[in-house]
Amino acid sequence: MKTYTVAVIPGDGIGVDVTKAAWQVLEKSAQKHGIHLQPSWFPWSCDYYLKHGMMMPKEGIAILKQFNAILLGAVGWPAQVPDNVSLHGLLLPIRQQFDLFANVRPHRLLRGVQGPLREAAFDILCIRENTEGEYSGAGGRIHQGTPQEVAVETSIFTRHGVERILRFGFEAARKRQKRLASVTKSNAQKYTMVMWDEITDTLAAEYPDVAVTRYHIDAMAARFVMHPQTLDVVVASNLFGDILTDLGAAIQGGLGYAASANLNPDPAFPSMFEPVHGSAPDIAGKNIANPIAAIWSGALMLEHLGETSAANDIMQAVERVTAEGLGNQALSTDALTTAILHQL
């Protein structure tokens, strides 16, 4: 029996609720398909920070490195730990240290799910650069708290980083509808984003079978709402991709449906799978969070591990449940999970 080791980090808030649900579904699918998923649960979170003064132990990255994959819930409990501390203490170091440069986020309406748009026939694969750009963490503050205070935060775009994420996008487009949209704001940001556009054009020559369109982020935001059916693969920088994929989540029915994979194609590093949503403290522990984004992220994990049948099985079970309209009802986390387990 094939065994995969998985580091499970539920994190904060509804991350705990939905990770528990996702794990139940993953285990059931694994059993059915003769796979063994061996979990190690880590309590790294804002609670852990309050006890230990850090979001994960100093050797956290070395510990995670030994696993085949990481399943993450959500990070953040702003009432007790500033969001920038929790994010830079857990989620971002994992993405950066394991060079998980491609954050892949599918946006489509699951069968039966009621989205806010008239147009339902869209299937977008957003690919967000995940290790540099606006999230590089380069900057500082001087004269803090005084009227003379200065804060500087520099976006860092490297040719290597931009080229590899665009190439990842072109390869993905080749396996889909062969259309790629590259998103910048190169009229206003005349260094980094102009370089991004130039690299897009250079790579486009290597992929003559892929139709490429360059968009500005503002126009792309409008297109997500007005003409989402015209989009196939969308590649964007770290921050633009983050914002755009919340819009993607909205048009697919809400953040409860938006899944993501943080990928490094090199199997020497564990890739990480997480719902796009955050910890939602207002509904944490109330058994009302939608577990589908976390379950879908689990399916993306199985797909990445090469267990395509087990992954497809999960998504078919999810869609049989949503097709019955259950996704649109205010079902509890447990009830929705039970319905999906039943379909499996």
User: What is the Cα–Cα distance from 291 to 333, expressed in whole angstroms?
Assistant: 6
Q: State which residue, 292 or 344, has the beta carbon closest to ligand GGG.
A: 292
| CB of 77 or CB of 168, closer to ligand GGG | 77
Does residue 301 touch ligand GGG according to CB under 6 A? no
The reply to whether 89 sits near ligand GGG by the rule CB under 6 A is no
Quote the CA–CA distance of 329 and 307 in Å, as a whole number: 31
Nearer to ligand GGG, 37 or 75 (CB): 75
Q: Which is nearer to ligand GGG, 72 or 195 (CB)?
A: 72
- Element counts in the chain: helices (H) and strands (E): 12, 12
Supply the minimum distance, in Å, between the C-beta of residue 128 and ligand GGG: 8
340 touches ligand GGG by CB under 6 A: no
| Tokens describing residue 269 | 């590093």
> What does the alpha-carbon distance between residue 338 and residue 344 come to, in Å, rounded to a whole number?
10
278 binds ligand GGG (CB under 6 A): yes
Shortest distance in whole angstroms from residue 204 CB to ligand GGG: 28
Build a one-symbol-per-residue string for 279-298: x at contacts with ligand GGG by CB under 6 A, - elsewhere: x-------------------
Pick out residues in 28-87 that bind ligand GGG (CB under 6 A): 72, 74-76, 87
Name which position in 17, 132, 134, 274 contacts ligand GGG (CB under 6 A).
274
Tell me: does residue 318 bind ligand GGG (CB under 6 A).
no
Q: In this structure, what token pair is assigned to residue 259? A: 């899944």
Cβ contacts of residue 184 below 8 Å, gap of 6+? 193, 196, 197, 214, 215, 216, 217, 237, 240
- In one letter, which amino acid is 102? A
Q: Are 256 and 74 in contact (CB under 8 A)?
A: no
Of residues 232-261, those binding ligand GGG (CB under 6 A): 242
Binding span for ligand GGG by CB under 6 A among 28-36, 114-122, 171-179, 270-278? 270-278
Least Å distance between CB 324 and ligand GGG? 27
Q: Which tokens in the block code for residue 51?
A: 């006890």
Shortest spacing between CB 12 and ligand GGG, in angstroms: 8
Phi-psi region of 287 (alpha: psi -120 to 50; beta: other; left: phi over 0): left
Nearer to ligand GGG, 87 or 117 (CB): 87
Nearest approach in angstroms of CB 322 to ligand GGG is 21
198-203: which pairs have CB atoms within 8 A and are 24 or more residues apart? 199/159, 199/162, 199/163, 199/166, 200/166, 203/163, 203/166, 203/167, 203/170
Footprint of ligand GGG on this chain (CB under 6 A)? Answer: 72, 74-76, 87, 91, 242, 274-275, 277-279
